[in-house]
Amino acid sequence: MTIQQARNTAPRRAVPALAATREATSGPAIYRAALALLISAMVILATITTAEQARAQSTPPATFADLVDQVGDSVVNITTSAIVAGRQGGPGPMVPEGSPLEDFFNEFLDRQNPERAPRRSQALGSGFVISEDGYIVTNNHVIEGADEIIIEFRAGFELEAEIIGTDPNTDIALLKVEADAPLPFVPFGDSEAMRVGDWVMAMGNPLGQGFSVSVGIVSASGRALSGTYDDYIQTDAAINRGNSGGPLFNLAGEVIGVNTAILSPTGGSIGIGFAMSSEVVTNVVDQLREFGETRRGWLGVRIQDVSPDIAEGLGLEEARGALVTDVPEGPAAEGGVEVGDVILAFDGEEIADTRELVRIVGDSAEGQTVRLLVFRDGDTQTLRVTLGRRETAEGAGATTPDGAPIAPASSEVLGMDLVPLTDEMRDRLGVQSIAGGLVVEAVDPASDAAAKGLQPGDVIAEVAQQPVADVAAFRERVETATENGQKSILLLIRRGGDPRFVALSLED
């Protein structure tokens, strides 16, 4: 009897026993018990699988050669060239501009002084193929300003690339080549799953030496350098000039970062390299591929972090979220967001600080309607806001103060000499939208106001989240807050067009 035959005959012999069991017990109860047992087994199996995957990710192989063979052909060297203008100037004092002899003398002077002549400049970088039809990811700074981009493949052939789109905010660019056959490519991985200490492998074209591999670990995650949308993985895998735009792989051969920058006093690798996380890159690449540009969501608020003293001044139990300092005309204003609101959650995701809110909003789609959980007047409420598009909705910055002295007599409160805001001051300080307001004329260097960064020319628009027009009202609110046992009082400050909240201590 074969195994297949045994499987076919066994159920027929078991039927009488099964029938007897059904008569003796409740059928539904048995089925429920069996289903629960099956679910438990599946959970245990999934847990074991996840644990095995985690161990595989953190355990280095005996050699990285197999991984190199798996992904190496998808990594490319990039050479760009551009015409750089030479030294400017006319043909010389003896030849008037526009003269028939101008070209002759320019050619002669270019031969005598090559610095005058335009020249072709070349730059090197790295990239990687993400689809068999020839889409390639690299850094924007690798190809910026180039009029020719040549892609060199590990197999030895070269193709010219065109730019599909760029995003200077994340330093990501998407290129495209046309090949006669499908190209080897690599997938993106989950950068959020990477842990500090996990192994990673960097590939690229360091210092123009050609295809090169380096190995290290994740040194840190969530690093911010200077950009609004920064989310860098820090690694000690060697990254040098020419590695820019190359991939950072996990041990599964997935791209979890795009090598972008290094921190170095010498210009060479000292073990502090940064790769933009795939969490950011995939969203950018998808938009560049679809639209040729990024289309980030725009909420339309100015915000600042919530410090512990600001949280105390607002009556917020925990110092988290993004404090709204200004709501110009736009999506947030239409959705009912107000100055002084603390945004605690964005579409169900808790907000820790302003950086997290900016990143989440930027990752959201234009036209998407989201739910904002805000803290206002001691309670929370939910608002619905339809996002605009950041790239087209942001206006020009406001004017800055000119620093001219302020004439009216002042009164001192909390270490600040204050005067009422006049129409002439509004124009000069760039705060035309403020109806009342007080202007800081001087700040006591030993005061908490000085410690919090207030300076002459700042405009106090609100005290305790209420508009203020004169010094007497300011003093009255300070007295009320002190009587209520508050340790600090919240001020809304405008410096030029830039608003921010400051909590000043009420304790001696």
- Both tokens of 148, joined, read 């020719």
What is the spatial distance between Cα 319 and Cα 308, in angstroms, rounded to a whole number?
A: 5
CA atoms within 13 A on the CB side of 167: 29
**Neighbouring C-beta atoms of residue 117, cutoff 10 Å:** 14
Please check whether residue 155 is in contact with residue 138, taking contact to mean a CB–CB distance below 8 angstroms.
no
What is the spatial distance between Cα 196 and Cα 90, in angstroms, rounded to a whole number?
A: 59
Please check whether residue 348 is in contact with residue 364, taking contact to mean a CB–CB distance below 8 angstroms.
no
- Both tokens of 17, joined, read 């026993």
Q: Which of 73, 141, 236, 353 is catalytic?
A: 141
Annotated catalytic, 131? no
DSSP state of 296: B
Burial of 265 (C-beta count, 10 Å sphere; 0-12/13-18/19+)? exposed
Q: Which of 126, 167, 171, 417 is catalytic?
A: 171
Annotated catalytic, 244? yes
SS3 35: helix
* Short-list 472, 457, 458, 447, CA closest to 501: 458
What is the spatial distance between Cα 310 and Cα 7, in angstroms, rounded to a whole number?
A: 72
What is the spatial distance between Cα 126 and Cα 211, in angstroms, rounded to a whole number?
A: 9
* Short-list 284, 68, 62, 271, CA closest to 188: 284
| DSSP secondary structure string for all residues of 119-175 | EEEEEEEEEEE-STT-EEEEEHHHHTT-SEEEEEETTS-EEE-EEEEEETTTTEEEE
Q: Which of 191, 212, 221, 244 is catalytic?
A: 244
**Which amino acids are annotated catalytic?**
141, 171, 244
